[in-house]
Chain A
């Protein structure tokens, strides 16, 4: 047993741990439960997303257990064990150690914060316990050659990759040709990071960059930027904005009658609920990028969202969707592993190819991990602000397979 040999080394200082580990496996089989450890920010600055993830996990586990648990393990039930990371990497690491050594979990999930996930997965790798990361976007989490780390959500750099995929797909679909591209972004880490990748991909896809404009988020007036944008005559405007400047830019563009064929934002300020309230019809036609939208056209999505909303009083979010899917991915792997041995679970996870079932409420078509442990099918949703029943609403348009039924995207948004 691989896990046993690693534990033996550690047993030099922790004799207790060894005997407990050897004792744990048969005990679990007898109890017919599989323990899933979850390190999540349940208090502190990211507590709200932590709680979203917790509730989604609970809903998924309830469904899986009610449907008979893991049949290949004699109907074993899944059991969730939580640890609060408080969004603190140090706490995340000690809690992960505790879950492995004291709680004897069979596998782990978490941690939303990239800063916590990065060292916590390192601990799991050391013990050889499989760690399923529903979401934590930092690229490098799956780029360290680890064997036991599996990420379901798209990584950071894919947000930009999918913006360009979207542009290409839509041009192919509609026959509209886009050539001149403009970048307008807030001058913080986030905006400049995006812009760097934009330049690279725009060059590769053969666009002509006609404007590359950072601006300070605290600006009192963005008319100078919009004036420049007007003069540059772009076909596509790519934006990274915080809440206040997203509002100001959208309203100023309407005022100055700047109407590029496509405006594509990057979440953040444009995804803020206050954005539509403060821009109203000026925002119509804008494309924005999100992890998930309530209207994605997948058979399981609508009932799952309705159930979740009834249970907890709000719609599923990007984080909760990923957490929900993670439980189904784990159940699927356990079924195929027919064992609670971490090494066998790891092998089963690596061979995952989940495309159907109640867990598939994501916008993309399946979960399948590449050799780094990254779900290679993961992707982002592009929504368009459209007039639905007289009110601006965010409607899923891309990927095409997830597009809201009956919606024809306004592409170009302006002639």
Chain B
């Protein structure tokens, strides 16, 4: 029983972080109606940014959390503005959104291979102030980097939800998500909103990078491992839904951790997909899948 509770605690912490990696994906989809295949690469960029920042300056990973996301926001903002926007603008000549999906796939390959050229294929970890630290909760051991990741993931989800409801930009994002033509007619600059959405999605990948780096290693194709998971989470939670991403993440994390106490851990992968299929069958829109979810 102890092992099961320990596994559940760990599963919840990992799950929240899986949710965090999916949050940016769901946000970009919600607003732009585009599946961003480059999301895993953006996570990789976030992890490498956090890695080099901590490695070179030796700062505390919590401090990196303040520096990396804004930088990634700017990166995402201009990535969308320069690379993806022209495809959107050429509406007449291209098959949207398929062409945009192909463009994001191109971004994925370029970023991954660029990282491979610059940093090589090896696994890198960095010793931070919180790496390998843990505290005891009764007879259970709670890893500090994972616990911090859990708190940051929940805070990010709440913060994003509040931003979408309370601020003018947030409302503009939601309006564009609901009906981009109507939003355009109301004076919202659609492309600027896309830039912001993409920037925010990238910034969240930066946050995820900062919380993962104290306990996980980074390498150029690290995004792929998280990406597949993020796609399942997003569909599970409902495409475009913020609470859905978090809940989807928690479900996957708990299944992975708790089920493996009763069977070989290779089986949990199969169980995740089985549950995924069942949910798709029963509720194709996912837990929170609505047209307007914010």
> For A243, what are the chain B residues with a Cβ–Cβ distance below 8 Å?
123
Contact indicator B123/A278 (Cβ below 8 Å)? yes
Contact A216 B225, CB 8 Å, known A255-B132, A278-B125, A278-B217: no
A278 to B213, CA, bound (A): 12
* Interface bits A258-275 vs B (CB < 8 Å: 1, else 0): 000000000000000010
Least distance between A14 CB and chain B CB atoms (Å) = 48
A214 to B6, CA, bound (A): 20
Q: Does B143 contact A (CB under 8 A)?
A: yes
A244 to B10, CA, bound (A): 20
Contact indicator B225/A218 (Cβ below 8 Å)? yes
- With beta carbons under 8 angstroms apart, the residue of B3, B10, B226, B260 that contacts A220 is B226
Contact indicator A224/B268 (Cβ below 8 Å)? yes
- With beta carbons under 8 angstroms apart, the residue of B132, B256, B266 that contacts A221 is B256
Contact indicator B261/A224 (Cβ below 8 Å)? yes
> For A228, what are the chain B residues with a Cβ–Cβ distance below 8 Å?
3, 260-261, 265
> For B131, what are the chain A residues with a Cβ–Cβ distance below 8 Å?
251
Contact indicator B266/A274 (Cβ below 8 Å)? no
* Interface bits A192-230 vs B (CB < 8 Å: 1, else 0): 000000000000000000000111101111011101101
> For B193, what are the chain A residues with a Cβ–Cβ distance below 8 Å?
none
* Interface bits B185-229 vs A (CB < 8 Å: 1, else 0): 000000000000000000000000000000111010000011001
Contact A274 B122, CB 8 Å, known A221-B14, A224-B260: yes
- With beta carbons under 8 angstroms apart, the residue of B14, B143, B256, B260 that contacts A255 is B143
**A→B interface (CB under 8 Å):** 187, 213-216, 218-221, 223-225, 227-228, 230-231, 243-244, 247-248, 251, 254-257, 274, 278, 280, 282
Contact indicator A244/B217 (Cβ below 8 Å)? yes
A247 to B14, CA, bound (A): 18
Least distance between B38 CB and chain A CB atoms (Å) = 19
Contact indicator A255/B215 (Cβ below 8 Å)? yes
- With beta carbons under 8 angstroms apart, the residue of B7, B141, B264 that contacts A257 is B141
Contact indicator B134/A213 (Cβ below 8 Å)? no
> For B127, what are the chain A residues with a Cβ–Cβ distance below 8 Å?
280
CB-defined A-B contacts under 8 Å, sample of 19: A213-B264, A215-B264, A215-B265, A219-B265, A221-B10, A223-B7, A223-B143, A223-B257, A225-B260, A227-B7, A227-B261, A228-B3, A230-B6, A231-B2, A247-B123, A255-B134, A257-B134, A274-B122, A282-B132
Q: Does B60 contact A (CB under 8 A)?
A: no
- With beta carbons under 8 angstroms apart, the residue of B7, B123, B264 that contacts A244 is B123
Q: Does B283 contact A (CB under 8 A)?
A: no
5 tightest A-B CB contacts, nearest first: A231-B3, A224-B260, A278-B125, A224-B257, A223-B10
Given A218-B225, A224-B11, A255-B143, output 11 extra A-B contacts at Cβ < 8 Å: A214-B264, A214-B265, A221-B10, A224-B261, A227-B3, A227-B257, A228-B265, A244-B123, A251-B131, A255-B141, A282-B132
Most B Cβ at <10 Å: residue of A187, A219, A248, A255: A255
Contact indicator B266/A216 (Cβ below 8 Å)? yes
Contact indicator B125/A220 (Cβ below 8 Å)? no
A218 to B217, CA, bound (A): 12
Interface SS of A by simple majority? helix
> For A255, what are the chain B residues with a Cβ–Cβ distance below 8 Å?
132-134, 141, 143, 215
A221 to B18, CA, bound (A): 11
* Interface bits B122-142 vs A (CB < 8 Å: 1, else 0): 111101000111100000010
Q: Does B91 contact A (CB under 8 A)?
A: no
Q: Does B181 contact A (CB under 8 A)?
A: no
A207 to B131, CA, bound (A): 35
Least distance between B4 CB and chain A CB atoms (Å) = 9
Least distance between B276 CB and chain A CB atoms (Å) = 16
> For A247, what are the chain B residues with a Cβ–Cβ distance below 8 Å?
123, 125, 217
Interface residues on B, range: 35 or more
> For A227, what are the chain B residues with a Cβ–Cβ distance below 8 Å?
3, 6-7, 10, 257, 261
Contact indicator B132/A251 (Cβ below 8 Å)? yes
CB-nearest residue of chain B to A187: B266
Contact A214 B266, CB 8 Å, known A227-B257, A227-B261: yes
A214 to B257, CA, bound (A): 15
Contact indicator B132/A223 (Cβ below 8 Å)? no
> For B6, what are the chain A residues with a Cβ–Cβ distance below 8 Å?
227, 230
Q: Does B269 contact A (CB under 8 A)?
A: yes
> For B229, what are the chain A residues with a Cβ–Cβ distance below 8 Å?
220
- With beta carbons under 8 angstroms apart, the residue of A187, A215, A224, A251 that contacts B215 is A251
Least distance between B124 CB and chain A CB atoms (Å) = 7
Least distance between A273 CB and chain B CB atoms (Å) = 9
CB-nearest residue of chain B to A186: B266
A227 to B217, CA, bound (A): 20
Least distance between A296 CB and chain B CB atoms (Å) = 27
Least distance between A15 CB and chain B CB atoms (Å) = 54
A228 to B268, CA, bound (A): 14
A58 to B58, CA, bound (A): 47
A214 to B3, CA, bound (A): 18
A415 to B131, CA, bound (A): 24
> For B14, what are the chain A residues with a Cβ–Cβ distance below 8 Å?
220-221, 223
Least distance between B20 CB and chain A CB atoms (Å) = 13
> For A282, what are the chain B residues with a Cβ–Cβ distance below 8 Å?
132
Contact indicator B132/A254 (Cβ below 8 Å)? yes
CB-nearest residue of chain B to A256: B141
Contact A230 B3, CB 8 Å, known A256-B141, A278-B123: yes
- With beta carbons under 8 angstroms apart, the residue of A187, A215, A244, A256 that contacts B134 is A256
> For B141, what are the chain A residues with a Cβ–Cβ distance below 8 Å?
255-257
Least distance between B219 CB and chain A CB atoms (Å) = 8
CB-nearest residue of chain A to B7: A227
Least distance between A398 CB and chain B CB atoms (Å) = 28
A248 to B216, CA, bound (A): 7
> For B217, what are the chain A residues with a Cβ–Cβ distance below 8 Å?
244, 247-248, 278
Least distance between B143 CB and chain A CB atoms (Å) = 5
CB-nearest residue of chain B to A230: B3
A103 to B217, CA, bound (A): 51
A248 to B215, CA, bound (A): 8
A263 to B269, CA, bound (A): 27
Least distance between A65 CB and chain B CB atoms (Å) = 41
A243 to B123, CA, bound (A): 8
> For B146, what are the chain A residues with a Cβ–Cβ distance below 8 Å?
223
* Interface bits B9-35 vs A (CB < 8 Å: 1, else 0): 011001000100000000000000000
> For A256, what are the chain B residues with a Cβ–Cβ distance below 8 Å?
134, 141, 143
CB-nearest residue of chain B to A225: B265
